[in-house]
């Protein structure tokens, strides 16, 4: 699993490349996407989430998605969070997607 490091309150685009178990890109053309970020895997509520309209899907056929995290999204307590990308489409069935870690670090204050 990969880890993305970001500072509290930092707005940042995140690029996700989706591949299958053989490393081939997954064509996500026509997919409906949802990104949920939780503090702990067992949490029922997300710390923040992004809906389908929040994604730039111009490279979806190549398995590349971009989602902008806002300063409000990342204004969370310093910790490591778990990101879950959910895809709904008529493509191949994904048995389990790989989660990723989002590490939010405290911003330096003067």
Residue pLDDT, tens place only, 12-27 = 999 999 888 888 988 8
Angle (nearest 5°) at CA 36 between 27 and 69: 85
Distance CA 60, CA 89 (A): 12
Contact 1, 100 (CB under 8 A): yes
Highest CATH level, class, for 3-105? mainly beta
Asked if the model's pLDDT at residue 95 lies above 60, the reply is: no
Q: What is the pLDDT of residues 25-57, one digit of tens each?
A: 888 988 999 999 999 988 999 999 999 999 999
Q: What pLDDT, on a 0 to 100 scale, did the predictor assign at position 12?
A: 94
Residue spans of the domains in the chain: they are 3-105
Does the predicted TM-score (pTM) go above 0.75?
yes
- Say whether 110 sits in a helix, a strand or coil: coil
Instruction: Name the helix (H) or strand (E) containing 103.
Output: strand 100-105
- Of all residues in the chain, the percent with pLDDT exceeding 90 is 57
Parallel, antiparallel, or unpaired for β 3-7 and 100-105? parallel
Contact 69, 11 (CB under 8 A): yes
């Amino acid at each position: 699993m990969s880890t993305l490091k970001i500072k509290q309150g930092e707005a940042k685009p995140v690029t996700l490349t989706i591949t299958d178990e053989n490393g081939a890109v997954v064509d996500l053309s026509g997919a409906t996407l949802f990104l949920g970020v939780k503090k702990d895997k067992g949490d029922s509520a997300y710390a923040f989430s992004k809906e389908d309209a929040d994604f730039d899907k111009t490279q979806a056929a190549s398995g590349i998605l971009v989602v902008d995290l806002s300063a409000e999204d990342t204004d969370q307590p310093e910790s490591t969070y778990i990101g879950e990308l959910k895809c709904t489409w008529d493509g191949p069935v994904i048995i389990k997607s790989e989660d990723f870690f989002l590490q939010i670090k405290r911003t330096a204050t003067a």
